[in-house]
């Protein structure tokens, strides 16, 4: 069983405000946080630091969260990595789409901090 400081979480969001918020919340819980402002940065981080969990925004420039999710779920090294979508774009149609694409769960923006923390901890504990 990994301790919190051994768990790598990758936050992918084009909003620095959201990244700072999520990073602060999760670092306070003891997790090791990596951040990326776009999919290209995220691919580079994944290559160096295999994340235990990815928090992913859907609306990003150039490579959308949908396309990024599709790519990581095709990759043998990341296909089993749980992904939580953190987006304002969560509605019935997109929820079905992201779950069918391999995301494990979603959190709607604006973020309910306690709800997010509970989701993250629940998913990480299921992996143990």
CA distances from 53 to 11, 35, 62, 67, 120 (A): 9, 12, 23, 17, 8
Give me the pLDDT at residue 21, please: 96
Domain at 53, CATH number: 3.40.50.2300
Q: Which residues pair with 56 in a beta bridge?
A: 12, 85
DSSP letters of 81-106?
Answer: S-EEEEETT-SHHHHHHHHHTT--EE
pLDDT band of residue 1 (cuts 50, 70, 90) is: low
For residue 5, give the DSSP letter: G
pLDDT tens per residue across span 13-71: 999 999 999 999 999 999 999 999 999 999 999 999 999 999 999 999 899 999 999 99
pLDDT tens per residue across span 65-95: 999 999 999 999 999 999 999 999 878 888 8
H or E segment to which residue 114 belongs = helix 113-127
Give me the pLDDT at residue 93, please: 85
pLDDT band of residue 11 (cuts 50, 70, 90) is: very high
Give me the pLDDT at residue 128, please: 64
Confirm if 88 and 97 have CB atoms less than 8 A apart: no
Q: How many domains does the chain have?
A: 1
Q: Is the peptide bond before 110 cis (omega within 30 degrees of 0)?
A: yes
| Residue 63, domain extent | 4-127
Count Cβ neighbours within 10 Å for each residue of 90-110 and write b for 16 or more, e otherwise: beeeebeebeebbbbbbbbbe
């Amino acid at each position: 069983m990994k301790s919190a400081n051994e768990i790598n979480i990758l936050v992918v969001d084009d909003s620095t405000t959201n990244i700072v918020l999520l990073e602060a919340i999760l670092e306070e819980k003891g997790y090791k946080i990596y951040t990326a402002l776009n999919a290209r940065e995220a691919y580079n981080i994944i290559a160096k630091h295999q994340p235990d969990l990815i928090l992913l925004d859907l609306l990003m420039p150039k490579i959308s969260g949908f396309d990024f999710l599709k790519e990581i779920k095709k990759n043998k090294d990341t296909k089993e990595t749980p992904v939580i979508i953190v987006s304002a774009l969560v509605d019935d149609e997109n929820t079905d789409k992201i779950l069918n694409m391999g995301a494990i769960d979603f959190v709607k923006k604006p973020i309910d901090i306690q709800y997010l923390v509970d989701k993250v901890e629940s998913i990480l504990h299921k992996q143990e």
